[in-house]
Amino acid sequence: MQVWDADAAVLDRFAADMAVLCDTLLAEGLLQDRDGTLARIRTCPTLEEAVAGVSFVQENGPEKIEVKTDLFARLDAATPPGAIIASSTSAIVASRFTEGLEHRHRCLVGHPVNPPHLVPVVELCPAPWTATETMDRAEALYRDIGQVPVRMTRERDGFVLNRLQGALLGEALRLLGEGVVSVEGLDATIKDGLGLRWALMGPIETIDLNAPGGIIDYATRYGGFYARLAEEPAGPEVFSVENAEKIAATWTQDRSPETIRARQDRRDARLAALRRHLASEQS
């Protein structure tokens, strides 16, 4: 694996950072061959050297359209014929930064979820000109390395995961902004409620099991109820910084960078334990 970053300081400390990460993975039982893994990673001083001879590129630049456009132009020129070029973007569809490229049929979005070694989903979103073969090969590669590729048939802003998250967050932020429930109460509704089912099966399998006759029976019984709620969806205003400030004022947390980092570490340790639990029951 060959790595390049525009910031030389990132490359300088990359081997040390990777060693720390591999130690964590080893301790969590998520990595067998620490030294072999580290030996396979090589940093390169230029983008062009990093993509020389490769068959797959994962681009992880900043979420700015002008940065993506520049990076993809360089990748389009430098990658070997046949190499796939996947962007990790979470919020920009590939058609916006690949349209004019010679090899645009080899470009797609491959959106992983943080932290990718603990959350296996990768969303695959084609541009209108992405080749089926590109999608097939990307899907096979992500599956081979133990991720769970989710293939979209066409572009949608926000892909699938953030569209689903955004819909739920919109309703959550509305209820909180209106003071209908506390943050702790709202979070418990998911953590000690729906989230328990959703960690085991998705929302569609969930409703397929929540009516004696499956999903069509569910729509027959509850469709009218949900349609009534859908008449008055949360609006864009619930995502304002003002609403976030109002909600944060009701929910005291230490939000210093060190504490957020410590809470993230704790989350990741719990995610690793959850993945081990789920893996053990499936075997």
User: What's the closest the beta carbon of residue 62 comes to a second copy, in angstroms?
Assistant: 12
Tell me, letter by letter, the H, E, C secondary structure of 194-214: HHHHHCCCCHHHHHHCCCCCC
Taking CB under 8 A as the rule, does residue 189 contact a second copy?
yes
Applying CB under 8 A, what is the total number of residues that bind a second copy? 109
User: What's the closest the beta carbon of residue 210 comes to a second copy, in angstroms?
Assistant: 8
Residue 137 makes CB contacts below 8 A (sequence gap 6+) with 84
Closer residue to a second copy in complex, CB, 43/130: 130
Which value, in Å, is the radius of gyration of the alpha carbons in the chain?
22
Closer residue to a second copy in complex, CB, 79/87: 87
Residue 271 makes CB contacts below 8 A (sequence gap 6+) with 115, 118, 119
Which of 71, 230, 252, 283 touches a second copy by CB under 8 A? Answer: 230
In this structure, which amino acid lies at residue 146?
G
Q: How far apart are CA 251 and CA 244, in angstroms?
A: 11
Evaluate whether 2 touches 49 at the Cβ level (below 8 Å). Answer: yes
Taking CB under 8 A as the rule, does residue 233 contact a second copy?
yes
Taking CB under 8 A as the rule, does residue 227 contact a second copy?
yes
**Angle subtended at Cα 248 by Cα 242 and Cα 254, rounded to the nearest 5 degrees:** 135
Q: How far apart are CA 109 and CA 130, in angstroms?
A: 10
Taking CB under 8 A as the rule, does residue 198 contact a second copy?
yes
CA distances from 38 to 43, 58, 68 (A): 11, 18, 28
Taking CB under 8 A as the rule, does residue 128 contact a second copy?
no
Footprint of a second copy on residues 71-100 (CB under 8 A)?
91
Footprint of a second copy on residues 135-164 (CB under 8 A)?
148, 150-154, 156-158, 160-164
Which of 80, 82, 128, 166 touches a second copy by CB under 8 A? Answer: 166
User: What's the closest the beta carbon of residue 16 comes to a second copy, in angstroms?
Assistant: 21
Please name which of 105, 196, 107, 110 lies closest in space to residue 151, comparing C-alpha atoms.
110
Taking CB under 8 A as the rule, does residue 30 contact a second copy?
no
Stretch that binds a second copy, among 12-20, 50-58, 102-110, 275-283 (CB under 8 A): 275-283
Footprint of a second copy on residues 241-260 (CB under 8 A)?
241, 243-245, 247-248, 251, 253, 255, 257, 260
Taking CB under 8 A as the rule, does residue 212 contact a second copy?
yes
